Every structure is written in C-alpha cells, then in structure tokens.
Structure 1
C-alpha cells in the first residue's frame, strides 16, 4: 500500500511539474526600454552610414574624373612652390598626414600619391580606425583629392588649397 501511494505521488508530482512548466511564459533577457534604445541607436547609425556613403559618392566623382596626362615628378617645381624639398610620393605632403599616418598607409598598401588618390575616404577612415583611437580622430576627407593634385603635379593648386585647409580639413 505504501508503494502505491509513493508511485501515485511521484506520478502526480511529475504531471504537476510539466503542467506548471507549460504554462510559464519564457523570460526574455531584454526589456522593452532596452529594445527601443537599441532600435534608436541602430537608426542613428544607419543615418550616419547613409551620410558617409553620400559624401563618398561626391568624393569619388571628384577623384574619378578623367585626369590630364600625368606629368613626370618635378622636384624643383615642387620645391619652388612649397619652399622645401619634396620627395616623389611623399604622403606627408598631404596636409593632415604626418610620419605615423604615412607609415599606417604604407603598411596598408598605399605607398604613392596615385594610390592614395584612388583610395576611398571610407577606406582611409577604416585604416585610421583600425590603428586605434589616437588615429580615429583624423579626418581624411580631403586626402585623396590632395593626393590627386600632387600626382598630377598641380603644385600651385595644391598649395593654394592647403592654405585654406585647417589640419587637412575644409573650414
């Protein structure tokens, strides 16, 4: 008799346990407030991406316009305009690029004015971001266009434009 009560008790216990489990709502680890915050952040990031893509298209149009025939590098002309010796494909000629950033770009395969002029602003930003916070603050928005002028030997245009720039940024 004792065994019958024990077995009956166990069976009832299992049935009660499974009925209780089936009626419980699954608990979600994120609140509605957190979900809404994430959605807002996602929308803001999507808007930023769209703005970057739009600015990139306008930069690409400037970069991809047909260029005059490439002039051989004239170190004397560059020196007369900049007042200092300029080496061919020296990325430091680009306002906003110093020795450390030049090294980053060189190790990323951008070793000439021509290659920088053909590099998208987004790719330049990506290189800076990968290098860390210290480099992510730089704005490469004008770098490909400056590099294009250097590659084409348009030293007067480059110097005049750089005189208007503020650390490589348009004012």
Structure 2
C-alpha cells in the first residue's frame, strides 16, 4: 500500500512540476521546445512533429516561436473528436492548420496570420490538428482529402 501511495505522490508532484513549468513558459513569453515528437508521413514527405497532448501544451502551442524549420510542425492531440478552433494569440509566424480526422485524412486547411485572434475552425469534428509553416501544404500538393500517415493515425485496438 505504501509503495502505491508513494508512486501516486511522485506522479502527482511530477505532473504539478511540469504544469508549473509550462505555465512559467507562457508567462515569460518563451516557446515550448521540449515536447515529445512523432513522425508523420504526408505523401512522399516526412514531418517531424512535436506533440501537444495536454491542455497546457495545447494552450501554448507554437506561441513565441520566431521560426520553425520547414520539415517540422506541431500536432495537437485531443481526447475525442470535436469541432476544434484555433487562433494565433502570441504566435509570431504564419501557420496553416490542417484539421485531421482519426484516419489521418485532412478535413480542411486554414491559413492563419501572426498575432491574429480570429478563430479558425474545423468543418467537422476532429481529434487532431497539425500546424505547419504557412504554404507548406500547398507546396507539397496536400489539400482536404489528402491522408497523413503515422502511428497516431493507426486504428486503436
């Protein structure tokens, strides 16, 4: 029993520490650069995507970044499909959001301007949103209906 309690307390402290660290980044205007990564296939291209899976990580997203390499992006992962809406508060680089269904198919794309608080929403409920540098999807001939590949889009068992 004591070992379970200890494990629970250690996990709780780690969670609070991580949440506090993320809150600290947001208040200091610093980008989050140490998120878990996943590989996503898009046609013959590979994307190195940071994964924003917690509410705090999703809230900060790509805020405060001054640049992002062309082959990188951020994948926002939600618990269940819903209409997802994004804005660009404190985001300094132009981005395109791909709203992505569970099977990896792109539902719709939205170009977003830096520091703009206009909402850009999915046209259907989705669980994933992939943000890339603005123009990346067009340059790689990807549009609504195109399919992304990767472990996150594989059927759940």
Please say whether Structure 1 and Structure 2 have the same fold, judged by a TM-score greater than 0.5: no
Q: Into which bin does the TM-score normalised by the smaller protein fall?
A: under 0.3
Larger radius of gyration, structure 1 or 2? 1
Higher helix residue share = 1
Output the TM-score relative to the length of structure 1. 0.25
